[in-house]
Structures are given as C-alpha cells and as structure tokens.
Structure 1
Amino acid sequence: MTALLDAVTAAGDRLVAASNGRIAFDARRALSRDDDLSLGEPGQWSPNRHCRLVRCRDGWMAVSLAREDDRDLVPAWTGAALDADPWEAVISAAPLRSGADMVAAGVELHLPVALVGETSPPAPSLLAKGAKSEGAVVDLSALWAGPYCGALIAEAGHRVIKIESPGRPDPTPQHTPRLDARLNGAKTRQRMAFDGGELLETIGTARALITSGRPHALARLGLDEARLFSLNPDLLWIAITAHGWRREAAMRVGFGDDCAAAGGLVRWNGDAPNFIGDALADPLSGIMAATLAIEALADGRRGLLDISLAGTAATFAKAMA
C-alpha cells in the first residue's frame, strides 16, 4: 500500500499544481469511499465482494458479478446448470480453460471480465489548440470515476453542471449519500433528457463535457463525436470508459476492481494475485482525468480526452514498479 500511496501522492502533487493550489488533496481520502460503505479487506475478493480473482488454466482473470443481469449470463458463459451458484460455476469452469478463452467468451457476452495485467499504459491523447472560453463543464457521468473528476474540476474553480436523466438517475445519492455529497456537492444539479434538444443546446455552449458511457451507447442518444464537435468545435470531451474509446475496447464493460486487475494493479502472493484496494481504477481515473482536463482547459485545448480505467490502472502500476 505504501508504493500505491506514494504514486497517488505524486499524482496529487501534479493535480494541485494544475489547479494553482486550489485543490486540497489527501491520497488516502482520495482512494476511499467508506463514508457510507462497510467494506472487507482486499484479497482474492474485492473489498465490496462483487469482484473476484479467478485462476484459469494458464493464469488469472478478474470477474465482476455485481449485477443480476451478469449473474444470469454465467450459465451461458461457463456451461453450468441454470440453477448453479454463479461464483461456484465460474471458479469450477475457469481452471479447465485458458484465460484468453474465458475472457474472450465473457467479453462477447458483455460481462465485466479481464485478464490480470492485460493492459499497458496508454499513449496520451492528442488535443488540438482551441479557443479559451468561460463555458461550464457539463458532467453526464455516474458512479465514481467521472463524478470524482468533475468534483476536482469544480474544486479547481470551474463551474460544473451535473445533469441527470429523469429516467435513469445516478444511484449514488440513494445508496451512498455522503459519498455523493463529496463527489457532487459543489456542482449545480439539473435534470434533462439525454436524447433531447435541451441537452444538445447546453453542450453547445459548454467548455467541457464529462461522460462515462461507452461510445455506442452515447451515440444512440445522439451524443457522438461528429455531432458534438460540429455543434461545439472548441469542446473538451473527457470520455471515461472501462477499456478505451476506440476499436474493440470501446465495446467492453468494466468496473473499478476488474479494470484495476486488468492494469496489473494487484499484489502477488507467490503465484496468486490479490486486490490492494477498493475499486482503485475508479478514483485513480478520476484523478488522472481531472489533472489532464484542468491542464488542457488552462492551455485552451479541445478534442477528446480518452481516459480508460484499465489504462489508468496500468499507468499507476508502472509508477509503483
């Protein structure tokens, strides 16, 4: 944990410098969401017990089964009986197959699975020079990474508007209200349809946009690159995804624990990996995204800032090596 805290502290120093000292950063606090949650110790199970590191024939994978829909797909993924316990089915099937085969089959079913250490640190996004403006930062993201990015941008002095869909609100206020206050308390909250003209009008005058959806899902709502950059050429789009915005990775699903494992952010005990924190790829991606966004806004940059949870985890794992 010391190596991780050292890496996060170094990242925090850059974040504070980017904000001209406005952000008060504490590394331990940044990685914690125990305001509302009772979490276990990290091991082969994640602290929230929704993700597990599972041995395959030739290595290890991380599997998240927090959602009922994902648990319902386990028989199709593993060949287990429909009434089998999902975790027992995965743990029994995995040693008989290669990790690559298990993950490929899981990805095809849109399950949040990843090989441990499969991801390398990404190349930086190339952002063009744009016009500096005083527009707001529009935050359409949910859960942890995106809202934390928006919270840090707000703390740096930018006006952030958190927009929620009336039909699909962010569950954070209901399940973890104190965490929600920390992530979203400094933002102006509004509700509007994600597929309507009012949102497009708001984005058209915004300085930056934060999203946490996959590109094809956003495109179904009319929020695609061609349309938004035509509407607002100087927009900085902070696109936070599990495995990346481009190519096949854009279709993959992931959460903070399985993406942390994908980036190699684990501790090895002999030949077995263990988690080292709670959904670490989420807060680390929030820090990374906010730092790069604040720097880009100060420099008048525009374009798509591609932030993946797995890639960010790999960046921090490399810094800890």
Structure 2
Amino acid sequence: MTALLNAVSAAGARLGKASHGRIAFDARQALSRHDDLALGAPGLWSPNRHCRLIPCRDAWIAVSLARAEDRDMVPAWTGAGFDADIWQAVMESAAGREAAEMTASGVALHLPVARVGEARPPKPEPLRAGDGDGGGVVDLSALWAGPYCGGLLAEAGFDVVKIESPARPDPTPLHTPRLDARLNGRKRRLTMALASPDLIERIAGARILITAARAHALARLGLSEERLFAVNPGLLWIAVTAHGWRKEAAMRVGFGDDCAAAGGLLRREEGAPRFMGDALADPLTGLTAATLALEAVEAGQCGLLDISLARTAAAFAEALR
C-alpha cells in the first residue's frame, strides 16, 4: 500500500496543479492575514497555499478560504460536525469576520473547515445486480478527482464523453492545459445544458455516470437519483463529493487539502501534522473510484458509488498505520 500511495503521489505531482477557475482562492492574500486563527500558535501551509493547518485548543484543523461564484455551492460558511467552542473561535477570528462581511455584501465566501483525522473509512452501500451491458461513460465532473477517474476509464478502453455546461465549463483547459490533456485527452467533449432532455437521453444509454457535485445541486438540475435510475436502472453512478453523498455530510463543502486533513493523511506519530504533496486526496479518490467502477462493471453491478475525498483519505491513512 505504501508503494501504491507513493506511486499515486508521484502521478499527482506529474499531472501538475489543478486550477479552480471560478472558485478563485484568496489564500495568498487573505489567509496570510489570518494568523490569529491559530490562537497565538504558528500554522502550516499546504504546498499550493490553498489550505492552512492551525492548532486550535486540543485539535488541529484545516481551513481553506475560497471566494466562489458557483451558485451550486452553499453561499456561506458552516460549522457542521465541529464542537461549538472550536467553531466559535474560528468565526471570531479575522477569517471568520471577513467571511461574515463578504457574505453579507453578496459575495459567496466559503470557509471549509476540517478537523484532522475526523473522517472514517467508508462503509459502501451494496450495489445491486443489473443487466447493464454496453454503453459508455458520461462524465459531468470537473477539476481533479472525477476527471481523473474518467481518464483512467478511458485508458481502460471505455468510450468516455465529457459533457460541460456552456454557462460553467471546466476551467482546467484554460488554466492548466497539460493537466487537462492528462485527465481528459482521451475523452470526447460535448457542450450541453445540464438540465436539457438531451443529457437525460444520453445518461439513459450510458453504463457509467461520473458526477462531482452534491446531491441537492444535481437535483435542482433534474438529475436526482430517482429520475436517473428510473430512466436507466442499469446505471453505475460514481458520485464524487468532499465528505459524502448522504445526510449531513452532503451539505459540507471541501477541497483536496482539507479533505486530506480530515481523513488523517496528514497525521504523524509525533508532532504536528504535515502535508504530503499537493492535493493528494484528489488522485487517490479518482484512482479508487476507477478501480471500484471496473470491479462493478466486471461483476455486472449497478447502483450509486458514494466516493468522498475525506473518507477515501481516511481509508488510505488507516492502511498506512
């Protein structure tokens, strides 16, 4: 497993750094002004400086500060899953005050926070036997983990169609063309409204669907579980999220570094946690999703694969202990 982790980490380094396009990180300017988040103690930066590890009382937490225009994301900060005193300390910091001010002024500012080691390895929902034969892959995901999964499936011989919204296309080709070539170079690309009947028709004929959005955001576009499995009972749906597809986890936003922290990948036996490469949770999640998808197709299974960055990181962290 250590060799696999090293290989995936090296692959991630070769792929380069993903740009977040419309999700424009303010870490270099904003987080550098928020040293008071550490409550008097020094913090640790991620290699891409999108995320900061800070000690807060008896815990280490990871904070990513991002200004976002994406209306599918919750336009506010949330303290779901955290002790009230820790969350209060975060919100009383300069970062929290700026988040409150900017949200009040109409700018959607996200403050994803994760306690180091909070996530647990996943307990996958059982897939069901299906008659899903033939059909290709419809990839609706963007940025890192989902496209990496789709790229691996394309290399395995699947016909992968990457579908992008004309309103919000994947920013990867514009900002990191080499990464885009690696993730999406073997896919066919189409531009299509995500709420269009044409997309439903294409999903109805697919074997695999890849998404990287939360359930409620997809449901608003008419892409709910009920509808998609009704039109395609043999569909294998790979649902990539930050913290999980269901219950309270489904409302949490997150990015690669804070999800790696939540999964415990940054823990050390002694001393402060330490970052391991850039956005390590993303390629680990993409690799895991592709592996599970290939196994499910081989076994003739269908259903929803709930693949989260935080829980995938937790599974790898547990295997390395």
- TM norm structure 1: 0.79
Does 1:113 pair with 2:113?
yes
Aligned to 1:27: 8
Cα distance in structure 2, aligned partners of 1:153 and 1:193: 24
TM-score of the aligned structures, taking structure 2 as reference length: 0.79
Does 1:244 pair with 2:254?
no
Deviations 1:221-276 (A, max 9, x none): 00000000001000000000001111100111011100000000014374321111
Is the CA contact (8 Å cut-off) linking 2:62 and 2:115 kept in structure 1?
A: yes
Which residue of the partner structure matches residue 6 of structure 1?
A: 3
79, 92, 99: which is aligned to 1:79?
A: 92
Distance 2:8 2:253 in 1: 27
Please state how far the C-alpha of 1:31 moved relative to its aligned partner: 2.4
Quick one: which amino acid aligns to residue 245 of structure 2? W
Distance 1:200 1:152 in 2: 24
User: Once the two structures are aligned, what percentage of the paired residues are identical?
Assistant: 63
Q: Which residue of 2 aligns with 1:320?
A: 320
Q: Distance in 2 between matches of 1:185 and 1:274?
A: 33
Distance in 2 separating the partners of 1:73 and 1:129: 40
CA distance in 2 between partners of 1:52 and 1:87 (Å): 14
Task: Tell me if structure 1 keeps the 8 A contact 2:9–2:277.
Answer: no
Structure 1 residue 223 and structure 2 residue 223: aligned? Answer: yes
Task: Name the structure 2 match of 1:135.
Answer: 135
CA distance in 1, matches of 2:52, 2:206: 40
Assess if the C-alpha contact under 8 Å between 2:117 and 2:267 holds in 1: no
Give the SS at the match of 2:287.
helix
Residues 1:134 and 1:34: Cα distance change in structure 2 (over 3 Å): closer
Q: How far apart in 2 are the matches of 1:37 and 1:236?
A: 26
**Matched residues, number:** 276
Structure 1 residue 150 displacement after superposition: 0.2
1-structure distance, mates of 2:18, 2:282: 16
Q: What's the offset of the Cα at 1:71?
A: 11
Unaligned runs of 5+ in 2: 20-42, 79-87, 100-108
CA contact (8 A) 2:2 2:320 kept: no
Give, in angstroms, the shift of residue 141 of structure 1. Answer: 0.3
Contact 2:66-2:110 at 8 Å conserved across structures:
no
Q: Which residue of 2 aligns with 1:183?
A: 183
Which residue of structure 1 lines up, in the alignment, with residue 253 of structure 2?
253
What are structure 1's unaligned runs of at least 5 residues?
10-25, 91-108
Are the counterparts in 1 of residues 285 and 312 from structure 2 also a CA contact under 8 Å?
yes
Change (3 A) 1:71 1:202: closer
Residue 304 of structure 1 is matched in structure 2 by 304
> In the TM superposition, what is the alpha-carbon distance from 1:88 to its structure 2 partner?
10
Superposed displacement of residue 280, structure 1: 1.0
Q: Is the 8 A contact 1:36 1:177 kept in 2?
A: no
- Output the CA distance in 2 between the equivalents of 1:51 and 1:71: 19
DSSP 3-state at the match of 1:53:
strand
CA distance in structure 2 between the aligned counterparts of 1:37 and 1:120, rounded to whole angstroms: 26
Match of 2:289 in 1: 289
Kindly report structure 1 stretches of 4+ aligned residues shifted beyond 4 Å: 68-74, 87-90
Q: Do residues 59 (structure 1) and 59 (structure 2) align?
A: yes
Would you say the 8 A contact 2:18–2:144 is kept in 1? no
State the secondary structure of the residue aligned to 2:315: helix
Task: Give the Å deviation of 1:57.
Answer: 1.4
**Aligned equivalents of 1:46, 1:300: Cα separation in 2:** 41
